[in-house]
Structure 1
């Protein structure tokens, strides 16, 4: 008699190989903060010193002290693997030396500023990719990142701070972390540290206090960090408790994000991923190609490439569908039916740019021709 109980089912060879690979993989511990100066690097070094006293083989791969005296002092006598020197355009740059660390093969390596973009000539374009190589080599990594560097919150952070964060990393990489520790201080404490010269050089203090480090902005970023870490904890508790044995709550949810050549397409994709992540849903991204876009060929191709990269980061299916003689709404309906979509996201401007008929005709047509599909209209300014 066959028993399909999840605990008694015989594992497939693929599942066994995956378990073996995971057991050999290094562990990733992330220190997450709401803003620079909360003490992430200091806490990494403090934990490293404690582990060293307990006999752990732990080294510094790359630590950015930013000239902070207390942080530099915390490095103490920890072994440092020499950085890799790279000459680029006549200047010397120093990056994480992945090969030397793998050769040294410590138990744990400290790697700061996870979202950093490496200089050309490095092993990988991004530091989080370096960390992935170290983890695959069986080396555990302690690393740090600020909440504003997560890809999916990019638009929210820009709205809060007025700053477009250019160095970003995929949320899917963050989800690989075995442990996430929030390093939290109040906005008042952070502003006090800044005023005392413990975060930036004196010439940057006044400008920072009045721009990024206002109480309102720091409070909003802190709330965002707390919420993101809380969501991560919820997912982990759910996995440990076994509540997803019969499949996640949103296993039948499928979200379709419709993007056009406008300024808010990437924002719409990020919003769709955040919904999909919370609902544990599949994510699809659709571009209806009409051939009469205001963008010329190379610009259009560049946009498509950006969307494909975001889709890859978010493990989403990316679909480009030629409009032909169909109305855009008809294309959306056909794709939605084909993939059994349950929720559709449209940008506010899509109703005017994709179709000349006024008063939300795309929405009305989708509602007439489909059933059990929720439609979300995301405003341009959100």
Structure 2
């Protein structure tokens, strides 16, 4: 009979000292009081009695030579194992290099795990955190491991309160040095943590919709698609769209250009791609002869909440008689807000005279 895989729950903090270890131990004691069999498999005392594993009345599986003893934990077969510092390094000669790999063994053995992590130890964000604090991370956990966790919960503490705890000596052995505990660094790390969790929740929502074929739901964060075409300046459009989402965490303009027989190719796509990435977004090129339809289909595929599209400087009659891509997108994009922007490449001079059997006056009278 196969053993069901254990569940992983990660308590994520913006910085050392926010209380992830205490939160893990408190949760372990709560689960024990509910009748679960809980053991401490690895916990750092951090030079403080509050995080001393022996002070919590929980069973402890002793570490062996400074590493998590996975064999002893699996032989004990608890319901839940508490494992502090998911990114910690195992000593030389161990079975694995990092503690998260030991946790994988526990999960495969059917043991639920509650663990802790700080945002600077997430692989994709480690260099960003290093730039913020000036302190090297010392080892990371792959994003895939964290995204595969059954739950990632933020343990939050206001930056000013964290500084007060540091000044009072309540944070033992902090990763000091550099700018790690300066107020602006703590604020940036906190924002980085919340952005990562919001992005993870957004990805999980999209995976759920893909699995169940769920209809489009209301978006929590703004996602703006910028239609880059013949009308208007593409760099200007990208910058305007970036301002629309400047207050939305983790958002950036998503540029899209439709290649087809009816429109010209973009000028200097590599430069536009670099600009989009600097603005926190991306650039995509798709193919289609129905340009407005292709823009709308792409916007729906990325769950866009807004579309920015350039429109030439035509009057109301001109927009009716000769609607451009922007006007057609606005008419057809039900459920998505559309911003029509007059770009720097707007049309100049009078509208071309309509051709055909009827004169312009009779056409207007007919309208």
Q: TM-score range by the shorter chain?
A: 0.5 to 0.7
Match of 2:232 in 1: none
Aligned counterparts of 1:248 and 1:164: Cα–Cα separation in 2: 44
Match of 1:195 among 142, 167, 183: 167
Quick one: distance in 1 between partners of 2:145 and 2:32?
Answer: 27
* Aligned CA distance change for structure 1 residues 178 and 158 (closer, same or farther; 3 Å): same
Equivalent residue pairs, number: 235
Measure the CA separation in 2 of the matches of 1:373 and 1:195: 48
> Which residue matches 1:211?
179
Q: Partner of 1:212: helix, strand, or coil?
A: coil
Question: RMSD in angstroms over aligned alpha carbons?
Answer: 3.5
2:148 equivalent in structure 1: 176
Residue 120 of structure 1: how far off its partner (Å) = 1.1
Q: 8 Å contact 1:46–1:74 — kept in the other structure? A: no
Matched, 1:221 2:221: no
TM-score normalised according to structure 1 size: 0.55
Residue 61 of structure 1: aligned partner: 41
Aligned mates of 1:376, 1:51 — CA distance in 2: 50
5 Å-filtered alignment, 1:279-294, equals none
Instruction: Report the Cα distance in structure 2 between the residues aligned to 1:213 and 1:197, rounded to whole angstroms.
Output: 13
Given that 2:135 and 2:179 are in contact with CA atoms closer than 8 Å, whether structure 1 keeps it comes out as no
C-alpha distance 376-81 of structure 1, shift in aligned 2 (>3 A):
same
Structure 1 counterpart SS, 2:130:
helix
Separation (CA, whole Å) in 2 of partners of 1:230 and 1:30: 15
Q: Which residue of 1 aligns with 2:98?
A: 126
Matched, 1:28 2:22: no
User: Measured at CA, do residues 74 and 120 of structure 1 come closer, stay the same or move farther in structure 2, by a change above 3 Å?
Assistant: closer
Partner Cα distance (2:64, 2:136) in 1: 29
Which residue number in structure 2 is paired with residue 114 of structure 1?
A: 86
Matched residue, 2:200: 232
Alpha-carbon deviation of 1:72? 2.0
> CA separation in 1, counterparts of 2:83 and 2:28?
12
**Is there any run of 5+ residues in structure 2 with no aligned partner, and where?**
217-249, 258-264, 279-367
When residues 152 and 102 of structure 1 are mapped into structure 2, their CA distance, relative to the original with a 3 A threshold, is same
Conserved in 2, the CA contact under 8 Å of 1:42 and 1:74?
no
Q: Is the 8 A contact 2:82 2:115 kept in 1?
A: yes
- Tell me which of 76, 79, 93 is aligned to 1:104: 76
Question: Which residue of the other structure, out of 145, 155, 158, is the alignment partner of 2:130?
Answer: 158
Shift in CA distance, 97/278, structure 1 to aligned 2, threshold 3 Å:
farther
Largest Rg, 1 or 2: 2
Contact 1:65–1:72, Cα closer than 8 Å, also in 2: yes
User: What SS does the aligned partner of 1:32 have?
Assistant: strand
2:39, 2:82 within 8 Å by CA — same for their partners in 1? yes
Partners in 2 of 1:42 and 1:193 — Cα distance?
14
Decide whether aligned partners of structure 1 residues 74 and 198 sit closer, same or farther in structure 2, where only a CA change above 3 A counts.
Answer: farther
For the residues of structure 2 that align with 1:247 and 1:110, how far apart are their CA atoms? 36
